[in-house]
Amino acid sequence: MTNWKGKRILIIGAARQGQALARFLSQQSAKVILNDKRSKEQLKGEMSGLPKIDIDWVLGEHPLSLLDRVELVCVSGGIPLNLPIILEAQKRKIQISNDSQIFMESVKAPVIAITGSAGKTTTTTLVGRMATEAAVSPQKVWVGGNIGVPLVEYLDEIHPIDIVILELSSFQLEQMTVSPHIAVILNITPNHLDRHGTMQAYTAAKSRILQFQNSEDIAVLNREDSGSWELRNLVKGKLVTFGMQQPPMGETGVFLNNGFITLQSNNENYPIMQHNTIQLRGEHNLLNLLAACATAYAAEFPFEAMVKGIDGFTGVEHRLEFVRTWNGVIWINDSIATAPERTMAALRSFTEPLVLLLGGRDKNLPWDELAEQIHTRVDHVILFGEAAEKIASAIGHPHSEDRLIDVHKTNRFEDALEIAARVARKGNIVLLSPGCTSYDAFCDFEERGNIFKKWVNQQP
């Protein structure tokens, strides 16, 4: 592990990841500066969470003078890399890092890391459940990264025999210079183009999960997703694949075979479990299950642990989450859908008539394919937030061939819910799957989903 004693380190961003890293580095006797553009009043909660930590707070702006005598700049997730202070740090050849990079460089146990445009949290949670079933005392299972707690705080408690599972976003990966022992890429579809600019830059960030592997490492790729599969040339070690269809003979992978999730290895098929016993809705969730099983196989978890990990799993909060049946209408919270691609996956998960809540802040993503799907699958679309006009333009005329869809626009989220309640009929599904980020009106997708659930559950 790096000797941090006396090193002067600047952390930009005082949210969850920045706080965890500040605690860790301070405990390692580093000289920590925690910088955030928000005011002291706005950060009251964050500052109270670090009461006894010896760090310097610099708030309200990002002065370039903070870089003087700094040896390392750590950027929290969500902080854009084109900030003048970060560009100046690069100009001065100061190393840029983040909490996930420092964790990966320092952890003693092998790491399983999972990335993708969609399905990361569900798959990571599933692999964590499988790992818990596979673990043998005194082994511990640690799940974190982009979900849960940043694991950098627990480095001193993680032992070489433990199992570590990380969810990694493109924001974390774009600075990475270290790869996990098992690297999983679920899919790569348009997302975060407001941050990365182009699909090429976004894909390049995702690909870094493979870039620093060696011949002893393992990659798990989706052979039916072009974005994931096109990165197979970067694989340096063993390759395990997953997909709905059987892989070519000679390849190792997980697929669906006559109703069974099945492993193909050494040209033999090994059934793991029946598909119809699984409680998750949607083909995208089936792919997440296949990915989790492929990852578990790569990690040498027994089939029994895979089955027990899946058994009883009904999904993760804010991901096609059943909220309530009210007056014969089913209300579903899919607030995690912050890109059109995710909303399309949600629409494919239902056969019932749909009332779709769509909107928020756009990420400069294409809407055409979703608009086509809306014309064939949705009866009522309720648009809200900053992106309402843009999405309305993409949907175009509400009359398409022999289907008429009802399009409403409103600025306020609560008004959108009122409209949904008014137009929905018995047997309908009201689906919050916004296709946009929540930052025009909420802290994050979780706050948006929680407000949705609270409103629905408060109805008589």
192, 206, 284, 363: which one is catalytic? 192
Nearest-angstrom CA–CA distance, 164 and 437: 29
Q: Which helix (H) or strand (E) holds 131?
A: helix 120-134
Nearest-angstrom CA–CA distance, 47 and 57: 9
DSSP 52: T
Helix H, strand E, coil C: the string for 265-284 is: ECCEEEEEEEHHHCCCCCHH
Place of tokens 């493109």: 170
120, 181, 363, 380: which one is catalytic? 120
35, 146, 191, 428: which one is catalytic? 146
What DSSP string runs through 206-234? Answer: HHHHHHT--TT-EEEEETT-HHHHTTGGG
Angstrom CA distances, 75 to 10, 102, 121, 349, 400, stand at: 9, 11, 22, 37, 47
Helix, strand, or coil (residue 127): helix
Length of the chain: 460
Answer yes or no: 276 catalytic.
no
Residue 164 in tokens: 């570590």
Nearest-angstrom CA–CA distance, 140 and 155: 13
Q: Check if the beta carbon of residue 206 is closer than 8 Å to that of residue 132.
A: no
Answer yes or no: 146 catalytic.
yes
Answer yes or no: 192 catalytic.
yes
Task: Kindly give, in sequence order, each residue whose CB lies less than 8 Å from that of residue 290, ignoring residues fewer than 6 positions away.
Answer: 242, 243, 244, 254, 255, 256, 261
Active site residues: 120, 146, 192
